[in-house]
Structure formats: C-alpha cells, structure tokens
Structure 1
Amino acid sequence: MATEDHVDAEESRKSQLCKDKVGKAVRAIYKQHELLLEKKKSLFGNTAPIYLQVTLWEVPVQKKKRFKLSVPHGVRGKNCEVCLITKDEREMDREQCAKFYKKLLAQKGVKNISHVMSLQTLRKEYRPFEARRKLVQEYDLFLADERIFRLLDSCTGKEFHKKQKYPVAVDVMKTDLAKEIETSINTAYFIMVGRGSCSGVRIGHTDLTEEQTVENVMASVESLTSKIPKGWPNIKCLYIKTQKSMAIPIYATTDFSGTTSEGAHTKVSDKGAAEDMDAESGYEDESDDNEAGSPQKRKQSASEQTSQKKQKTAKRKKAQGDKKKADKTETKIEEKSPKKKKLKASKMKKSQKV
C-alpha cells in the first residue's frame, strides 16, 4: 500500500499540460511576432525570446533558487552575446589574463563567447551602478569560472538579479569545455523567488520552428513540475509570451488540492500566500460574532474600551508627574542639608577659639 501511495503521489506531480492547447498558443505568438515585425522593422535582427510565465498557488518560503530545466532545443539564438568572467591569474595584469583565457578558449574550440573579462576588471571598471547597468544590457548571458563563483555576489549587485542575468558557473579547466559552454548557453534557468507567486523563464526564441517551441514548452513544464514544491497541483496559471506580445494562457485552474505538511487543508489567496483555515491563522469563528451581538453593541463596547484606555493613560501620567515632583523636593533637601552642616561646624570652631 505504501509503494502504491508513493507511485500515486509521483504521478500527481507530473505535468498534465495539453499539447494541442500549447500548439494553438504558440501559433498565436508567432502571428503576433510577424505583425509586430511588419509594423516596425528592427535593424538589430528579428529574433525575439519566448518566455514561459508561471503562477504558483503556494509560494515556497525559502531563499532565491535557480533550477536548470532540460529542453530539447536551445533557448538562445545564434546571435546571443555571452560574457565569460574568469579567475585572476598570478603575475598577470587584467589584459594579459583576458588574452590567456581567449587563447585557452580557442585551443578548446569554443567560438560562442563574445567577451572575456577577469574578476579584477569586474571589480574595478564596473564598480559604479551605471557601468554595471550598461554591462547587464550589453550581454544576453554571463558565465563565470566556478573557482570564483562564490565571490561574485559582492561584485554584481541587484541589476544582475533584476534582469535575471546572474552568472552561470562553468568549469573552465574541463577537457570538453566547448560542450560545457554550449549546454550552459542553451539551458533554461528557472529562478524561484520566495516572495512572489509569479516567475518567468526563457524557453525559446522565434528562430525556432513552431513545433520546436511546442516541444520546449512541454519539456520545460515537465521539468518544472519535478523541481517546484508539490509539483503540478501547485501550478495555478501558465502563459507564453514574447517581450512585446500579450501573454497567451496555456493552462489555468481555480481549484487547489494542496495540503500543508501537517495534512490540514489550505486556502490560498490570489497573491499566492497560503493561509491556514485554523483559528490561529487570523480567521474569526462565526460563534464569536454571534456572542458579540449587533453592530451597535460592538461600537458601544469599542468606545467603552477606548475611554477606559484614555482614563488609564491619564492616571499613569499623573502618577509619573507626582513622582517627579517628589524626587525634585528630595534632591533640594539633600542639597541644602550639607550647607547647614558646614555653617554649624564653622560656628562651633569660632566659639572654641574664643
């Protein structure tokens, strides 16, 4: 029985997305893209990225995480601009370090890296906010040597997180470096933020055929359900869109069958935050409302409570004021008493001399 329940739980986590609906939505996206190209022709190429928007019922309470989603076709086009951030080599300045790694990439047959920079270059030349913002806009993807990956958080800043372009770690010293970089470029990365219910992931581009885009959508959703908590039942809505097109829904539901870790049913708001249906979660019982009586009685009780609070605060202030006055009088008496003692002592001395 336990194994059967485990199998059923795994089956319920799997994607139940309809391929026909995805195909219709993808065709609509491509038509929208064609209409936009007819209206405004771009000088920088006609390729547009395609995104999958995911809305969850329950927002996981955790730190920001990034998951790799396996897709059969590359999510970036041929003209993708990629920047590689490398380790600082000893006894080499920034230019020599960049030349050393460009030579290494050429020897290992890597041809899809647009720019190479060292960690020192990132720290010194891109310290101002404006410089970092321009750097983020200039490249589609950032790769980083895994040996310096833990040091990047202090060098990148919020602009990399905002544009979802935080560097991806690669093993630069790997023998099959070309394949390592190729897979890193063509992989979809889903970033799960623990404060909002909606997230987006790049799952293709308009240079792919419609069938290839459909395959990418199906594969990315299947991979996504294995990564997120509670799997497929936790997905509320799915949309696909380009940067300038409207979002087209491919899945939406109004029912949520998820349960908490304790087994209690949960009611989830539109914002995506789960609220327990127990009394501890802030919901008021109907019996308490009936005992309180009509709204007029509630208003009267509220006014009585406020008046009682005011009386208590007034008494407290008065007691504090009386205490301060008593303290002042005591200090004055203490100040005067040493003077009187000195006068008496001086008079006694004079009388003894006489």
Structure 2
Amino acid sequence: MAATTAAPPPPKSKLNPKTVRKAVNALLKWRNSENPDLVDSDEFTYLVLTLNKIPPKSRVNAFKIPLPHPLLPESTQFCLIYDDRRTSNLTMDLIQKRIKSQNIPIAKTLKLSKLKSDYKSFEDKRKLMESYDCFLADNRIVELLPRCLGKVFYKNKRMIPVPVDLGKKDWKGQVDSVIESAMLSLSSGTCSVVRVGRTSMSGEEIVENVVAAVEGIVEIVPRKWGGVRSFHLKLLESFALPVYQAVPDETMEGGKGREREVVKDENKDMKEKRKGEEAELKKAKRGKNAAE
C-alpha cells in the first residue's frame, strides 16, 4: 500500500493580533476625544492594503472575504438588478415571491431594461446610487452594468453591484454571504481599501474582523504574504495606523518614500468618500428618529 503524502501546513500568519488591538484601541480613543459629538453615531473602520506590485489582471467584481461579525446592519436596504431579456426566465412576480418566501431584505427590484431607459443621466444614476445601501446584480448581466451605471458607481468601489446567481434556489444564503463579508476590489494600482468594522461594534469584534479580513485577503493577492507591502487601519478622518509592514526595500518602488506616498494618497481618497459616508449617517439618523 502506497504511503500517503501529508498536506503541507498552512503558511504562518505574519499578523500580530496585539498590534491590531493597539491600533483599534488608539483609533477609538482618538475618535472619542476628537469627535465627542459622533460617539453615539456609527461609521466604518477601514483596512488599507498596499501591494508590492500592481496585480497582473484587473477584476471588476469584488472578492468576498468572510467576517465573524457582519458589517451590514439588519436595516440594510438592497437593490437587485435583474436580467429581463427574452433569454431570461425571470419575471417580477417570481422574484417578489422568492423574496417574500425567503424573507430577503431586498427593498427594490430593477429590470435591466428599465435601468437602461430610466437612468441615462449622471444625476439619475447618482440618485439611484444614494437611494440604497448595497446593490446586487444577476450574474448574467454583470458585464453589461459598467456601461449602464457609469463611473458614478464604479469610481466608488463600495457601490459596485455584487453578483448573485439567481438560477439557484437559495437566494437568501447568497445575500447573507454579502452581509457577512468584506468586499475587496483589487484595482489597477497597488492600493485597495476594505471596510472591516463599524465603530458601534466592540473593540474586540473589530479586532476579530480585521484579523479575519487580513487572513482572507492574503489568500487572494498574488504571492500571498510575499505580495503584501503593508496593512494600515483607519477611520474616515483619522491617520492610517500600520498593523503590518514588510521589511522596507529601498530598491522597490521607492522604498519608505513610496510607502509614505501610498498612505498619503489613501488618506486623500478616503476624504473624497466622506460625503457618501456622511449621507449614510444622516440617513441612519433619520430612520432612528422616525422609529422613536
């Protein structure tokens, strides 16, 4: 009988949870001291990934990284864009029955044909984007959406529709997977930003999400840990705190100087997203006041 070959052990993580915990505590302490008016509000915690090299292939759809603590609240408003072409077997009646029977939090269903006809202008697309927290898309039409939705959606990577397979019966499982995951978009550059927590979570919950996100991201990026230059953690308006940095190589893309430029660029990019985040906070507050 031939001897079986044991599977190689998984690569040892280079992330120290203690470093993550210190960064999370520092960010929460900074927020409470610098912005006391926002203590009772909720905002995202971001993980900034910097790669050593630009990914060889661009990918429009984001990778889903499972997290132990869901990012999206129960009040999340989903919009589903579906294929209503002749080759599709979907009807509005069928979709509504499936949503109701599986208790799926989809607030709006939008036909591909209606998307093309009713949302032609930039302003129409912007209003659509701001009306819902997250967008889902029939995986058969994903390649058609960049032209239909335009730059307003795809520049703001967190609003890119997440593909779902409507040919499967378990729609709720797929939507739950979106709620319970961080979304990683590897862009045409070396940097990506991933939402990994909310300030309404406990510090330890954020730490656990960060650790899970890092481990999941490392499995996706080219060369795994060998392809990662750094991970930083930040809030919308805070400094980016390092939680992992590879040994600096002065000969690689400018070494330490390049690293500082990357973080500076990410801080600038995060400020550009402030308007959208503030709109989300205002929307949440309106909902809370209405409930009271």
Measure how far apart 1:17 and its partner are. 0.6
Per-residue displacement from partner, 1:117-155 (whole Å, max 9, x unpaired)? 111221111110111122223322110122332322321
Q: 1:15·1:221 contact (CA, 8 Å) conserved in 2? A: no
Per-residue displacement from partner, 1:177-227 (whole Å, max 9, x unpaired)? 212211123211111113x22110111212222111111111111111111
Asked if 1:267 corresponds to 2:275, the answer is no
Q: What is aligned with 1:140?
A: 133
2:239 to 246, 251, 256: 246
1:38/1:231 CA distance change after superposition, 3 Å: same
Q: What is aligned with 1:78?
A: 74
Instruction: For 1:267, give the aligned amino acid.
Output: M
> Whole-Å Cα distance in 2 between the matches of residues 174 and 109 of structure 1?
16
> Whole-Å Cα distance in 2 between the matches of residues 253 and 107 of structure 1?
49
Mapping 1:1-354, distance limit 5 Å: 11=11, 14-35=12-33, 38-39=36-37, 46-64=41-59, 66-88=62-84, 98=92, 100-110=94-104, 112-164=105-157, 165-194=159-188, 196-256=189-249, 267-270=252-255, 271=258
Measure how far apart 1:104 and its partner are. 2.5
Q: 1:144·1:169 contact (CA, 8 Å) conserved in 2? A: yes
Q: 2:146·2:154 contact (CA, 8 Å) conserved in 1? A: no
Q: Helix, strand or coil: the match of 1:182? A: helix
Q: Helix, strand or coil: the match of 1:52? A: strand
Q: 1:126·1:132 contact (CA, 8 Å) conserved in 2? A: yes
Q: 1:71·1:187 contact (CA, 8 Å) conserved in 2? A: yes
> Whole-Å Cα distance in 2 between the matches of residues 114 and 35 of structure 1?
37
Q: CA RMSD in A?
A: 2.9
Structure 1 stretches (4+) deviating beyond 6 angstroms?
A: none
Per-residue displacement from partner, 1:154-174 (whole Å, max 9, x unpaired)? 212122111112111112343
Measure how far apart 1:40 and its partner are. 5.1
> Whole-Å Cα distance in 1 between the matches of residues 74 and 35 of structure 2?
19
> Whole-Å Cα distance in 1 between the matches of residues 57 and 165 of structure 2?
27
Q: How many residues align?
A: 247
Q: 1:68·1:187 contact (CA, 8 Å) conserved in 2? A: yes
Comparing both structures, which one devotes a greater share of its residues to helix? 1
1:21/1:80 CA distance change after superposition, 3 Å: same
Q: Percent identical across equivalent pairs?
A: 32
Measure how far apart 1:114 and its partner are. 2.5
Higher RCO (CA 8 Å, separation ≥ 6 residues) = 2
1:83/1:34 CA distance change after superposition, 3 Å: farther
> Whole-Å Cα distance in 2 between the matches of residues 77 and 33 of structure 1?
21
Q: 1:108·1:178 contact (CA, 8 Å) conserved in 2? A: yes
Per-residue displacement from partner, 1:79-110 (whole Å, max 9, x unpaired)? 323211122276xxxxxx65652333002221
Larger radius of gyration: 1
User: Which runs of 5 or more structure 1 residues have no equivalent in the other structure?
Assistant: 91-96, 258-265, 273-354
Q: TM-score normalized by structure 1?
A: 0.62
Q: Helix, strand or coil: the match of 2:96? A: helix
Q: Helix, strand or coil: the match of 1:223? A: helix
> Whole-Å Cα distance in 1 between the matches of residues 31 and 242 of structure 2?
16
1:207/1:113 CA distance change after superposition, 3 Å: farther
1:98/1:256 CA distance change after superposition, 3 Å: farther
